[in-house]
Amino acid sequence: MSRELSNKPTSLTIIKDSANRYFASFVVETNPETLPKTSNSTGIDLGISTFATLSNGDKIEAPKPLKQNLKKLAKFQRKFPRTEKGSKRRERRRLRVAKLHAKIKDIRTDFLHKLSTDLVKKYNTIVLEDLNVSGMVKNRKLAKAISDLGWRQFRTLTEAKCEKYAREFRTISRWEPTSQKCSNCGFKGGKKELNVREWTCLNCGTLHDSLRLTGGYRDINAAINILEVIQPKTKVETTEAKVIETPVQLSLFNEVAEGRSETIKRTQSHRKSSPKKDANGNDVSTRPESTIQLRLFD
């Protein structure tokens, strides 16, 4: 065993998996543990290219064990059905496939355990988005990548460890527009496709691009919005944001209005400065005709 048991076990179960590995499962009574409280809170945005993006800008990459061993697994699985049923060779090849699957699972589980434990130790409040993972894996283009990351297992482990160490674990609705809203001023810029990695807020002009803070600022923006759903800005910060927003909004409208008026002025001046010409190239003015028409009406 890697560590001593805190008390005498009340029961013991021996488990054998498909890779012919044996595990001993103990049931032991333990005392509740608590960690020193901190004032740190974090919102976590889960993704495919980057496993987790924290609201403070930190990024955690996943090992993606299935992707790393996909070719080897495909090779073992091609050879397995070519063997005769009930033969020793078939059992050996089945065991090779099972051991590789177990290795992939162990790498993923080890990563998720270490990450969830580290987050629980650092932050007093952890906020996650309630993703519809079961519905997302129905997308055949993303199912393999999502399954390789283990989003649901990460949430389960983090929630259990928060409960164990007296931390606060919160989730927000999956319908919150975390990727559509600007974390600087709160302006909603509309739905954006996954391939849109940078965008500029139309209200405050903040650039959410893929080059800031070592890449993926769109994900950092979403992580900040996830945290602010539970811990919104104070009134002072909100008032200051509004004071900053107003001149920008007016300047934007002024630019549009001025641009339109300039266009009208240029069009009118162009019409005045470009008189019509006849077939011989002589200038022909239409203004006397209009003057005659007015006199007739008089």
- How confident is the model over 45-62, as pLDDT tens digits? 998 989 999 988 899 999
pLDDT tens-digit series, residues 75-94: 999 999 999 999 999 999 99
The pLDDT score that the predictor gives to residue 228 is 86
What are the φ/ψ torsions at residue 186 (nearest 5 degrees)? 85, 5
* Spatial distance between the Cα atoms of 255 and 232, rounded to a whole number of angstroms: 33
Confidence of residue 211 (pLDDT cuts 50, 70, 90): very low
Q: What is the mean pLDDT of residues 20-38?
A: 88
Catalytically annotated residue among 4, 17, 29, 45:
45
pLDDT tens-digit series, residues 167-196: 999 999 888 887 778 877 877 776 766 666
Question: By the 8 A CB rule, do 129 and 223 touch?
Answer: no
Catalytically annotated residue among 148, 159, 219, 228:
219
The residues, ordered by sequence, that sit 6+ positions from 48 with a Cβ below 8 Å of its Cβ are: 142, 145, 146, 149
Active site residue 45: yes
Question: By the 8 A CB rule, do 3 and 80 touch?
Answer: no
Range with top average pLDDT, 221-225, 238-242, 244-248: 221-225
What are the φ/ψ torsions at residue 53 (nearest 5 degrees)? -120, 125
Active site residue 278: no
**159 or 288, which is more confident:** 159
Catalytically annotated residue among 129, 148, 159, 245:
129
Q: What is the mean pLDDT of residues 232-245?
A: 44
Measure CA 155 to chain center.
15
Active site residue 106: no
Which pair of tokens denotes residue 284? 């022909």
pTM: 0.71
